[in-house]
Amino acid sequence: MKNNAERRIKGIGVSPGIAIGSAFIIEQSGVPVPEYAIPAAQIDKEIKRLHAAIAKVQKHLGQLRLKAEMLPAGAEDMALLLDAYKGMLSGSRLVRGVEEIIAKQKLNAEAAIQKQIAALKSAFAAMNDSYLAARAEDVGEVGTRLIRSLLQQSYNPFAEIPEGCIILAEEITPADAALLPPGRAGGFATVLGGAEGHAAIMARALGIPALSGISALTHGLKTGETVVIDGRAGEIVLHPSAPTLQHYRAELTRKKQEDKRLRTLRDVPAATLDGVAVTLQANMELPRDIDAVLDSGASGVGLLRTEFMFMNRPDLPDEDEQYEVLRKLANKLDGRVLTIRTLDVGGEKLASALGGAAGESVNPALGLRAVRLGLKQPKLLDTQLAASMRASVHGPVRILIPMVSTVAQMKQVRFRMIQIERRLQKRGVKIKGLPPLGAMIEIPCAALTADALAKVCDFFSIGSNDLTQYTLAIDRGDDRVADLYDPFHPAVLRLIQFTAAAGWRANIPVALCGEIAGDRRATALLMGLGLREFSMSPLRLPAVKDEITKFSMPQAVAFGEAILAKTDEDEIRALMQDGIAKKN
Ligand code: PEP
Ligand code: MG
């Protein structure tokens, strides 16, 4: 096969749409390395830090190695190389040398790695052997991976990306995604990451097509060469031929026309054919999303993910800093509701400022995260609650608690809010009563005890992303099990229906803010299951509104019943594919 012949590689489509652009391959190199002295008493700690980084890099290489097994024939070198990298991290000259430099020269681990790499490279170079010269490069690569791991991604790999490029990277973490300059990237494709990981959610929020789970990064491709990403088909096309490019360009034109039509719906009320009103709100990942929220015609923000305030920084934001961010958002929303979700770090969402406090459990998704972390570190939670309560003076604010599993957690949070209100009053800060307090229903136990939780909550918001993950025991960020991740599994749908009914019985609002809220194929079904309130990426909102105007409530109920009568996921998928239009 000619090297530049067209080639299609399958992945998981994590954000729909088509992007044509020049590839920008994120290399592992180019990390600025800090150098500082450490006191003798800190040596053991520094060596432990080194070994924690080694363990992380080994795990990462192991994941890449698994993917490499899916490579086409002829690319076995990649697997061998990854094995070699892993080998260099266990009891090797590299590791021993770094330990020695830390201990003897009392240097930080990053600088010690850099020194040891330089020493090994010059030793290899002195032997004047082309095989060893290549090994020297490998040592450099492993060292850089270690340094990046130690630095916890505190440099911006996207600072210099050209306009409209397609980013190709091994992995894009949520913290990386937050650094993507808005409007600059045309799309991205990664080797690691599942459909509902946070990088995928960010890509959808930015409205850029994205793929994950591609078998290897480059397949001989170079930065600057043309690629096409087809987010719907889950495919990347390398070296596209002229007819292929023509086909995708025509698709892009069609999409633009459809977007133009949808934009005209901005001020049209969201109501079914028979006049049942639906509340459509927006999810926000970053403050910069606010313009898209206002443009979309959303009636407010149904989910403000506050993790952005904690990302890409070594320290924690204090109450005033958080208040300022929230106040600005409340003002911009101009009377529309702002639902502030307290910090949901842990699991795949790591905030480096929290150090080891989150995400280091054996099973991070089941560990100390979200409200569990907040109640164990009350200062963290109280600071957020106080800032949110102060922001409520500037507009209707609601407070949403993630990962709730017990009634006691909600009682404890409300108790803290009452105490904070008193403290604020003492400081002379006035607030107009406590903002409504709600629970994310995203763990099966919360859905199954929704009746009890409804007694201690002012509203619910169903987090279908995590509800699917925990109900099906599928890691939402793992591309290897992504084919089993199915929010329309009958078990998940029954939990959603049960929660909606519990909210209705208790007369509290129930919204759904997981990714299926923005999937127009799901709208009639979810309304049939009893929901009337959705929060989604603002870019998805016009299409969902368009869908709502196309069916009546009795049709939605019949659609919901038809789907719930099925217990076979394939049959459900077939009905979903046909959508309500063909069903009725
Ligand atoms: C969810 O779990 O569905 C949700 C909306 O929260 P997040 O995706 O931030 O976990
Ligand atoms: Mg969640």
Average pLDDT on 532-553 reads: 96
For the cut 70, the answer to whether the pLDDT of residue 10 exceeds it is yes
Contact 581, 546 (CB under 8 A): no
Q: Could you say which ligand is closest to the alpha carbon of residue 404?
A: 2
Contact 353, 202 (CB under 8 A): no
Angle between helices 43-68 and 109-126 (to 10 degrees): 60
Q: Tell me: the pLDDT tens digits for 326-365?
A: 999 999 999 999 999 999 986 555 565 565 555 567 788 8
Residue nearest to atom 8 of ligand 1 (CA): 465
Q: Could you say which ligand is closest to the alpha carbon of residue 516?
A: 1
Q: What is the pLDDT of residue 202?
A: 74
Ligand 1 atom, smallest distance to 462 CA: 3
DSSP string computed for 370-411: HHHHHHHSHHHHHHHHHHHHHHGGGS-EEEEETT---HHHHH
Ligand 1 atom, smallest distance to 515 CA: 3
Q: How far is CA 287 from the centre of its chain?
A: 16
Prediction pTM value: 0.77
Residues 6+ away with beta carbon under 8 Å from 198: 173, 174, 177, 348, 349, 477
Where is average pLDDT lowest: 30-39, 67-76, 532-541?
A: 67-76
Structure tokens at 306: 């506050």
To test ligand 1's pocket by mutation, which of 289, 464, 513, 526 has the most ligand atoms within 8 angstroms of CB? 513
Q: Which domains does the chain have, with CATH numbers?
A: 7-27+158-254 (3.50.30.10), 40-150 (1.10.274.10)
Rounded to whole angstroms, the Cα distance separating 299 from 282 reads 8
Q: Provide the percentage of residues in the chain whose pLDDT is more than 70.
A: 89
Q: Is 463 in the pocket of ligand 1 (CB under 6 A)?
A: yes
DSSP string computed for 17-80: SEEEEEEEE--S--------B--GGGHHHHHHHHHHHHHHHHHHHHHHHHHHTTSPTT-HHHHH
For the cut 80, the answer to whether the pLDDT of residue 573 exceeds it is yes
Query: In the β-sheet with 185-190, what is the strand arrangement from edge to edge?
Result: 7-10, 235-238, 226-230, 18-25, 165-169, 185-190, 210-212, 12-15
What letter represents residue 136's amino acid? A
Contact 396, 340 (CB under 8 A): no
Buried b (16+ CB within 10 A) or exposed e, 552-574: bbebbebbbebbbebeeeeebee
271 compared with 349, residue with greater pLDDT: 271
Q: Could you say which ligand is closest to the alpha carbon of residue 535?
A: 1
Report, in this order, helix, strand and coil percent for the chain, each rounded to 5.
50, 15, 35
Q: Could you say which ligand is closest to the alpha carbon of residue 517?
A: 1
Q: What is the pLDDT of residue 154?
A: 47
User: Quick count: other Cβ atoms within 10 Å of Cβ 485?
Assistant: 21
Task: For residue 413, report the distance from its CA to the centre of ligand 1, in Å.
Answer: 20
Is 198 an active-site residue? yes
Ligand 1 atom, smallest distance to 198 CA: 8
For the cut 50, the answer to whether the pLDDT of residue 583 exceeds it is no
Q: Is 305 in the pocket of ligand 1 (CB under 6 A)?
A: yes
Q: Could you tell me which of 447, 474, 445, 471 has the C-alpha nearest to residue 461?
A: 447
To test ligand 1's pocket by mutation, which of 196, 339, 344, 470 has the most ligand atoms within 8 angstroms of CB? 344
Task: For residue 134, report the distance from its CA to the centre of ligand 1, in Å.
Answer: 44
Q: How far is CA 73 from the centre of its chain?
A: 33
Q: What is the pLDDT of residue 584?
A: 45
Q: What is the pLDDT of residue 331?
A: 97
Structure tokens at 255: 């999409």
Most confident range, picked from 93-97, 207-211, 432-436, 437-441: 437-441
To test ligand 1's pocket by mutation, which of 303, 371, 403, 440 has the most ligand atoms within 8 angstroms of CB? 440
Residue nearest to atom 10 of ligand 1 (CA): 466
Ligand 1 atom, smallest distance to 303 CA: 5
Q: Tell me: the pLDDT tens digits for 369-421?
A: 899 999 999 999 999 999 999 999 999 999 999 999 999 999 999 999 999 99
Task: For residue 416, report the distance from its CA to the centre of ligand 2, in Å.
Answer: 22
Angle between helices 569-583 and 553-564 (to 10 degrees): 160
Task: For residue 301, report the distance from its CA to the centre of ligand 1, in Å.
Answer: 14
Most confident range, picked from 32-46, 118-132, 233-247, 338-352: 233-247
- Which pairs with CB-CB distance under 8 Å and at least 24 residues apart come from 245-250? 245/20, 248/18, 248/20, 249/20
Rounded to whole angstroms, the Cα distance separating 21 from 29 reads 23
221 compared with 515, residue with greater pLDDT: 515
Rounded to whole angstroms, the Cα distance separating 487 from 499 reads 15
Task: For residue 174, report the distance from its CA to the centre of ligand 2, in Å.
Answer: 14
Ligand 1 atom, smallest distance to 201 CA: 8
Rounded to whole angstroms, the Cα distance separating 534 from 198 reads 19
Which residue out of 198, 219, 239, 489 is catalytically annotated? Answer: 198
Beta strands 7-10 and 185-190, pairing class: unpaired
To test ligand 1's pocket by mutation, which of 465, 495, 526, 531 has the most ligand atoms within 8 angstroms of CB? 465
Is 445 an active-site residue? no
